[in-house]
Amino acid sequence: MTDLRIQIGNIEFKNPIFTASGTFGYGNDVPDFVDVSKLGGIFTKSITLHPREGNPPPRIVETPSGMINSIGLANVGVDHYMREMVPSYSTIGTKIIMNIAGSTLDEYAEIIRKMESISSDIVGYEINISCPNVKKGGMEFGVDRSLTAELTKILRSLTERLLIVKLSPNVTDIAAIATAAEECGADAVSAINTVVGMSINPTTWKSNIYTVFGGLSGPALKPIGLAAVQKIFHSVKIPIIGIGGITGSLDVIEYFLAGASAVQLGTVNFQDPSTGERMIDELETYCKDVSIDSISSLVGKVKN
């Protein structure tokens, strides 16, 4: 039997297949044909201090090998989330990581203070410092080393749960931002969030997205994600969660070889939300075929 278990901080996950924020709702409302208990964990959509309607439509457009979205962090807000969603996690059968977003340092901190004031089964927080679609906050933090450091330090002081910083690819030096997160107490980083993109209708001459720009995701991102993970791997010791364009189990292997210790599936969930659970058997078979006992032994083993 291949060992698919992985460890982040003091938490063990049954396998390294997670769902990416924004592609699996709050984890409690998935179709019947999906067995979430097979997954290593679920990263919720971004939750903010106050409820948000998000951006006006059109806010999603398909592109070659991917899609662009500009949802604008539409979500129910932390109070509703605590009341209506969190209780269901006690029986969900997989681990939940809550993704949080804010427009000020205080907003991020207030969300964590609220969450830490109740008992819950959430195992950690993923900090979205990389949303490209809001005027304030979001990517503003993720492109700035000192803001990333300050935010991570504040949030670290508020929780002993996992703190995972989600990095933006829209930067000159992603490894420097990852290092700042590590130095200030992050347990892991996830990389990458979406790449700023645009799509234009040549008939109307208008952008296909109301906010003009959006976040590009899907298979087009895999080479960018792999390069980011490899760069970060050479700079930090904490685990890296690889994200970007994964559609099959061999993509997962590539991310491991580049330096990821786990992965998140995003855009593929819109095609088929059961992709993740199907990959688990395939990963076991791959590991058996190449005679390795533990998937973790692949981490960073690309031959350069």
Burial (CB < 10 A; 0-12, 13-18, 19+), residue 22, is buried
Residues 131, 162, 240, 241: which is the catalytic one? 131
CA atoms within 13 A on the CB side of 102: 19
Helix (H), strand (E) counts: the chain? 9, 16
82 closest CA partner among 53, 44, 37: 44
- Residue 73 within binding range of ligand DHB, rule CB under 6 A: yes
Tell me, residue by residue from 40 to 69, as one string, x for binding to ligand DHB by CB under 6 A and - for no binding.
-----------------------------x
Q: 240: part of which helix (H) or strand (E)?
A: strand 240-243
Nearer to ligand DHB, 70 or 207 (CB): 70
Nearer to ligand DHB, 15 or 215 (CB): 215
CB of 188 vs ligand DHB, minimal distance in Å: 17
Among 16, 41, 58, 72, binds ligand DHB (CB under 6 A): 72
- Residue 2 within binding range of ligand DHB, rule CB under 6 A: no
- Residue 244 within binding range of ligand DHB, rule CB under 6 A: no
Nearer to ligand DHB, 132 or 245 (CB): 132
Rg (CA), the chain: 18
Task: List binders of ligand DHB among 116-175 (CB under 6 A).
Answer: 128, 130-133
Q: Cα–chain-centroid distance for residue 244? A: 9
Nearer to ligand DHB, 131 or 253 (CB): 131
DSSP one-letter code for 236: -
CB of 266 vs ligand DHB, minimal distance in Å: 9
79 closest CA partner among 50, 103, 58: 50
CA dist 220 and 73 (Å) reads 23
Q: Note if 287 is an active site residue.
A: no
Task: Name the site residues for ligand DHB (rule: CB under 6 A).
Answer: 22, 69-73, 128, 130-133, 193-194, 215
Active site residues: 131
